[in-house]
Amino acid sequence: MDEISSGTTQHPQNRIGLPEITPSREVCRAHSWMVIRLFDIIASDVGTSWEPSPNPRAGLEEERWLEQNLNQLGNYQGLWIAILNHSIVASGDSFEELHGQIIARNIRDALVVKVPDDLTQRDYLIA
C-alpha cells in the first residue's frame, strides 16, 4: 500500500477483529498542525480570559525604569505611554488611543502611565 498517498498503513487485524490503522508521519504532522491551528482559533476567539495565570512581577521592572527615567520623558509630556521592559513601546494622546495600540500589537503586561504635563512640578496629592 502506498503509505504517503493513503495516509495510513494497514496492519493485520487485532484481537477483536478490527484492522489496526497506524497514521503515517505525514498524517501525524497534519493532525498536529490542525490541533495547533484549532488552539489558535479558540484562543483568538476568547481573548485572554482563558489565561488567568497570575504575574506578580508585572510592571515591576517597568516601574523601576520609569522612576529612574522620569526626567527624561520630556517628549512625552501630557501623553499616555506604555512601558515594556526598559523602553517606551507605544504612546498616545488618550488612553483609548494607547489601548488600541496595545491590542493591535498584542503588547502584554506593559505598564501604562500618563506622563505629567510638567515634570518639574512637585505636587502633593490630597484625595
Partner 1 sequence: MNYLWFSHQHCYGAGENVVRMRIRILPPSGPPFTLRAVLDTGAAISYFDRALLPSLGIADVTTGRPIDLRAANGERSTGYVHPVDIEFIGHPMTIPIAFCPDWQEGTDNLLGMEGFFEQIRAAFEHRARRFYHAIH
Q: Which amino acid is at 38?
A: L
- The span from the CA of 108 to the CA of 122, in Å, is 31
If binding is defined by CB under 8 A, does position 119 make contact with partner 1?
no
Helix (H, G, I), strand (E, B) or coil at 46: helix
Of 5-13, 21-29, 30-38, 92-100, the window that binds partner 1 (rule: CB under 8 A) is 92-100
If binding is defined by CB under 8 A, does position 72 make contact with partner 1?
no
In angstroms, give the least distance from the CB of 29 to partner 1. 30
Which of residues 34, 58, 69, 86 is near partner 1 by CB under 8 A? 58
In angstroms, give the least distance from the CB of 35 to partner 1. 24
- The span from the CA of 16 to the CA of 41, in Å, is 38
CB 112 within 8 A of CB 81: yes
- The span from the CA of 83 to the CA of 113, in Å, is 8
If binding is defined by CB under 8 A, does position 118 make contact with partner 1?
no
CB 113 within 8 A of CB 83: yes
Nearer to partner 1, 15 or 122 (CB): 122
Which of residues 14, 55, 72, 75 is near partner 1 by CB under 8 A? 55
Cell numbers representing residue 112 in the block: 501604562
Which of residues 56, 72, 120, 121 is near partner 1 by CB under 8 A? 56
CB 92 within 8 A of CB 80: yes
Contact residues for partner 1 (CB under 8 A)? 47-49, 52, 54-56, 58-60, 62-63, 67, 82, 94-96, 99, 102-103, 106-114, 124-127
